[in-house]
């Protein structure tokens, strides 16, 4: 994909509204339901099981009668597959609960070209305030941590960016010394613990964090990564409902 392809490529968010009665879904139920729509029998480049950097994320917001499924995708073809299969199916299975599709539409600020995500040095605000809407967890060796420190978050998001961004979009990297120029100036929130299918306990952070940076170049790269995270989530297990966030 050349420069023109990079300009055309975009991330997107879709909202699928469902009617019915269901308890808040277990993470593996949510993952399984959306995987069934986005998966493919062939091992093509769109397959969500192909490679460590998933090209989609999913989050569930319960409502009085049903709920809203928000799905972020990194590739237009995945968005087409999602909408086609969700509408053809017409139902969402979350464990024993079966909900009926009411509407599928693009969400607010539903699409962002990769080119728009790139933040130039000097254009990023000194303070980057983030609201983590669902439990957000970062891998720490074989374990996970709810502490969303900027250095670890940079590494996690950059791995996804550098895998999924089309040709013509700059790679985003930072040395340990450069990542150390990013720091937390304010945090307010709580730890939320979720249980996976294998009974593993995963802690995640919910709340607000304000990040600061001492180096404009590093801060701009971090801001670019956070812009991507508004569509694909932050941290680990975003296909299981973790890591939904918004920049404030």
Q: What is the DSSP letter of 206?
A: E
Q: Are 146 and 135 in contact (CB under 8 A)?
A: yes
Q: What is the pLDDT of residue 108?
A: 64
Tokens of 64: 């009085």
Answer yes or no: are the C-beta atoms of 91 and 36 closer than 8 Å: no
Contacts of 208 (CB under 8 A, 6+ apart): 129, 130, 131, 132, 186, 187, 188, 189, 248
Q: What pTM, to 2 d.p., does this model score?
A: 0.91
Domain residue extents for the chain: 3-113, 115-247
pLDDT of residue 102: 94
Tens-digit pLDDT profile for the chain (248 aa)?
444 445 457 899 999 999 998 788 899 999 999 999 998 644 455 544 545 578 999 999 999 889 999 999 998 889 889 999 999 999 999 988 899 999 998 876 688 999 999 999 989 898 999 999 999 999 988 889 999 999 999 999 999 999 999 999 999 999 999 999 999 999 999 999 998 877 688 999 999 999 999 999 999 999 999 999 999 999 999 999 999 999 99
Nearest CA-CA partner of 247 in 157, 167, 155: 157
Fold category of 115-247 in CATH = Alpha-Beta Plaits (3.30.70)
d(CA 229, CA 109): 13
> For residue 5, what are the CA distances in angstroms to 34, 113, 119, 145, 167?
27, 10, 19, 37, 8
Q: What is the CATH number of domain 3-113?
A: 3.30.70.1890
């Amino acid at each position: 994909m050349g420069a023109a392809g990079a300009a055309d490529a975009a991330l997107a968010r879709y909202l699928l509204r469902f009617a019915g009665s269901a308890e808040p879904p277990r993470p593996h139920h949510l993952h399984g339901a959306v995987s069934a729509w986005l998966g493919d029998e062939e091992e093509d480049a769109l397959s969500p099981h192909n490679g460590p950097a998933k090209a989609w994320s999913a989050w569930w917001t319960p409502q009085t009668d049903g709920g809203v499924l928000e799905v972020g995708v990194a590739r237009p073809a995945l968005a087409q597959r999602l909408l086609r299969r969700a509408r053809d199916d017409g139902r969402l299975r979350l464990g024993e609960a079966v909900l009926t599709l009411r509407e599928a539409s693009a969400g607010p600020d539903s699409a962002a070209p990769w080119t728009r995500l790139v933040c130039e040095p000097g254009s990023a605000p000194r303070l980057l305030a983030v609201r983590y809407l669902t439990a957000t967890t970062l891998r720490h060796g074989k374990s996970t941590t709810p502490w969303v420190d900027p250095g670890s978050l940079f590494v996690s998001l950059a791995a996804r960016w550098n895998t999924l961004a089309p040709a013509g979009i700059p790679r985003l990297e930072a040395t340990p010394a450069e990542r150390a120029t990013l720091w937390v100036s304010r945090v307010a929130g709580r730890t939320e613990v979720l249980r996976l299918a294998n009974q593993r306990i995963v802690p995640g952070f919910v709340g607000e964090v304000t990040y600061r940076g001492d180096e404009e170049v590093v801060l701009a790269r971090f801001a670019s990564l956070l812009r991507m995270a508004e569509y694909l989530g932050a941290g680990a297990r975003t296909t299981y409902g973790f890591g939904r966030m918004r920049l404030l």
